[in-house]
Amino acid sequence: MGMTMTEKILARASGRAQVRPGEIVQVPTDLVFGQDTTMPLAVIAFKHMGAARVFDPDRVAIVCDHFVPNATVLAAEQTKSLREFAGEQDIAHYFEAGRGENFGVEHALLPEEGLIYPGMVVVGADSHTTSYGALGAFASGFGSTDVAAAMALGEVWLRVPETMRFVYEGELGPWVGAKDLVLHTIGQIGVTGALYRTMELVGPVIESLTVDQRLTMCNMGVEAGAKNAIVPVDRETERYLKAVGVRDVSACNSDPDARYHSVTEIDVSGMGPQVACPSSPDNVKPLSEVIGTKLDAAFIGSCTNGRIDDLRRAARVLEGQRVSRDLRIVVIPATQNVYLQALREGLLEIFAEAGAAVSTPTCGPCFGGHMGLLAAGERVIATTNRNFVGRMGHPESEVFLSSPVVAAASAVMGQIAHPDEVVR
């Protein structure tokens, strides 16, 4: 009997001919990583485990991205401890802002660095590790102690998830993209809609998306509770992997007779831009219902929407415009490579001319860390993934989630707006 992509990857990794949902499998890990807020706890646990060496220094990565460039003395101490740990353990994949090579937000950075490939098992100490399913990998978020154990043992235990298949069909409208698709889906199934399960995203619309856009969708799978999200490997995947220097591309796509928990067909024709309203990612409304909502801030960036594709889209809206004087906007390219590409293409100039504060890569405000937080009563439109109470600052502030084009148009208008209001 057939298997889904996720089942195939877990079967192959655990050395079995077949696995079924609900089974517990012990799986070797191809990449284990963490970031500057989760890895310090993992290093403490690793040491308390009495582990001397990581299982394979080339299969461990540390990405300092949340509080970088070090926002506080405490953050500086944390990155220092991680730098030292990487040195002790010969971990070459150590990334930190301003160290002479590519750096930035982990889920944009690791694919660019060629560390993600189809069929691999990725264990990350960050919930948005689900992103890498966009390249046909099994990738899931874990806590620090799980990551410590994976660093020590080179394996992890997993319950094989059931797979929910989402088939996207129809024609995408103007100004509608991956973010709108995933927000719409989360709005439909809710924040527990895919709890403990796999979201497999397929269909002609997914095939038409770039890897950057697929990463946006898989990134937010966890907001529906998913263990992982995954997209079949196709020519676009191969194009991306070739560009980042990955040679080993062995597809592991679902069998035609694979068994699914459910199959949901979504016709995207006629769908407009979507916005997730405070304070849950499933409180999704069509843009038309919230248009005109007054704003104090806008943010374009993050592991969800800080890639070059996102910045190009935002720049189409902001070109030749000035943002509203009633609002402040921060734009953060997700990695140094994205920053440089945006610089070469003139996108950073467009943002700066529009009046945006353009920053070096960091997670910054997305998780309420630094670089543009909110005061009580303030409202932001953000291209990020979570709009929980207090997520980006004061517990009485509010976050609306949208695509880059809607955030850009809203910044120009000072209120939630459709790109058509700005680009005529």
Residues in touch with another protein (CB under 8 A) = 24, 37-38, 40-41, 44-45, 47-51, 66-67, 72, 74-75, 77-78, 125-127, 129, 141-146, 148-149, 152-153, 157, 191-192, 195-196, 225, 227, 280, 367-369, 386, 388-391, 395
Q: What is the nearest approach in angstroms of another protein to the Cβ of residue 159?
A: 9
- Within 10 angstroms of residue 306's Cβ, the number of other Cβ atoms is 31
Residue placing its CB nearer to another protein in the complex, 48 or 239: 48
Spatial distance between the Cα atoms of 17 and 19, rounded to a whole number of angstroms: 7
Q: Give me the helices (H) in 225-306, please.
A: 235-243, 287-290, 302-305
Cβ atoms of 110 and 61 closer than 8 Å: yes
Q: What is the nearest approach in angstroms of another protein to the Cβ of residue 72?
A: 6
Q: What is the nearest approach in angstroms of another protein to the Cβ of residue 382?
A: 14
Angle at 403 between CA 399 and CA 408, to 5 degrees: 85
Residue placing its CB nearer to another protein in the complex, 78 or 415: 78
Which one-letter amino acid corresponds to residue 161? P
Residue placing its CB nearer to another protein in the complex, 312 or 394: 394
Residue placing its CB nearer to another protein in the complex, 22 or 292: 22
Cβ atoms of 116 and 133 closer than 8 Å: no
Cβ atoms of 186 and 276 closer than 8 Å: yes
Q: Which two tokens stand for residue 352?
A: 């700066």
Residue placing its CB nearer to another protein in the complex, 54 or 417: 54
In whole angstroms, what separates CA 145 from the centre of its chain? 22
Q: What is the nearest approach in angstroms of another protein to the Cβ of residue 45?
A: 5
Q: Which two tokens stand for residue 170?
A: 């129809």
Q: What is the nearest approach in angstroms of another protein to the Cβ of residue 114?
A: 24
**SS3 state of residue 222:** helix
Residue placing its CB nearer to another protein in the complex, 227 or 313: 227
Element (H, E) at 382: strand 379-382
Q: What is the nearest approach in angstroms of another protein to the Cβ of residue 285?
A: 18
